[in-house]
Structure 1
Amino acid sequence: MQAHPNVIAVQDALDAAGAAGSQVIILDEAVHTAAAAADALCIEVGQIANSLIFDADGEPLLVLTSGAHRVDTGKVAQSLQIGRLKRATPSFVKEHTGQPIGGVAPLGHPKPVRTLIDTALRQYEVIWAAGGVPQAVFPITYDELLRVTAGTPADVA
């Protein structure tokens, strides 16, 4: 699985961005939820950066939210002045990220995706994000995640 093209793309993007210490690892089993990922890593569910792709008036929006809560789509849409913000279909996610739902990484996409990063993640020394497939994850700090994604800090819950 370490040789999967998505995993390689994510690791290459991390390396190119100079994300020191962020190495994609492969878990024994796929982790499709924040709770499953937290259990596999023996960490708090809030340390998981859920990667959620939304359809924002036809454009992709990636929201990296703490696994401890849900995105308030109305709040996010209003703050970004988006007319319609809805959960993206699996085909929309794949088209814009090249990655499957459950494994969407914050980077390593065919082209940059507008990204919001939940300020609730700031409280953790290390957070974990998906690595391109449901079995892959990597550790990163909040500040590094902001930097490597060119993301915008946001209160999304």
Structure 2
Amino acid sequence: MHTAVRRVREALAEHGVHADILELPGPAPTAAAAAAQLGCEVGAIANSVVFRVDDDPLLVVTSGAHRVDTRRVARLRGVAHRRIRRADPDFVRQVTGQRVGGVAPIGHPSPVPTLIDEHLDDYPYVWAGAGLAHTVFRTTCKDLVRLTGAEPVGVSAD
């Protein structure tokens, strides 16, 4: 088992969440591709996107049906909009131990401050990355909140 996937599995177990990690039959570079393989709505895909706020990481777990509004995120974090940038692949890997395209909301070497899209609560179940681009696990918004310590907030432009 790949180290990134093992860390996700361990983080789930540490929080008492019993979720199977599934390997998708093919790559899922987008929420639409993942949803098509899983047979679910695009909005039920929980995308984990890493941003830099100056030199600090911020993970935003957003519904696949929405885009992160960095101006809104800046207001939530109490910082100027220009201080928030999407992280480059090297920074993402350094912070999460995972590559872009497979970033999970958990299983990182150290805790990462996280925001969770309130729209994920519209679905009884959501699918989150499990450390590799073709691995996912089914969970709920409530469990994502418990796993990450984050509260659901509005992170997209409605």
User: Into which bin does the TM-score normalised by the smaller protein fall?
Assistant: over 0.9
Find the aligned partners of 2:48 and 2:40 in 1 and give their Cα distance: 17
Q: Which residue of 1 aligns with 2:57?
A: 60
The superposition leaves residues 15-56 of structure 1 with CA deviations (integer Å, 9 ceiling, x where unpaired) of: 111013x12111111211100100010000000001000001
Q: Which runs of 5+ in 2 are unaligned?
A: none
1:5 CA displacement: 1.0
Q: Which amino acid aligns with 2:138?
A: P
TM-score of the two chains, using structure 2 as the length reference: 0.95
Q: Which runs of 5+ in 1 are unaligned?
A: none
Q: Which residue of 2 aligns with 1:122?
A: 121
Among residues 7, 10, 20, which one is paired with 1:9 in the alignment? 7
Q: Which residue of 1 aligns with 2:95?
A: 96
The superposition leaves residues 116-146 of structure 1 with CA deviations (integer Å, 9 ceiling, x where unpaired) of: 0000010100000000000100000110110
For the 8 Å contact 1:103–1:130, the answer to whether it is kept is: yes
Find the aligned partners of 1:9 and 1:27 in 2 and give their Cα distance: 18
For the 8 Å contact 1:57–1:82, the answer to whether it is kept is: no
Q: Which amino acid aligns with 1:6?
A: A
TM-score of the two chains, using structure 1 as the length reference: 0.96
1:114-153 map, 5 Å: 114-153=113-152
Find the aligned partners of 1:152 and 1:82 in 2 and give their Cα distance: 18
Any runs of at least 4 consecutive aligned residues in structure 1 with deviations exceeding 6 A, and if so which? Answer: none
1:152 CA displacement: 2.3
Among residues 76, 80, 84, which one is paired with 1:79 in the alignment? 76
Task: Please tell me the root mean square deviation across aligned C-alpha atoms, in Å.
Answer: 0.8
Q: Secondary structure at the match of 2:58?
A: strand
**Identical columns (%):** 48
The size of the alignment, in residue pairs, is 154
Q: Which residue of 1 aligns with 2:35?
A: 38
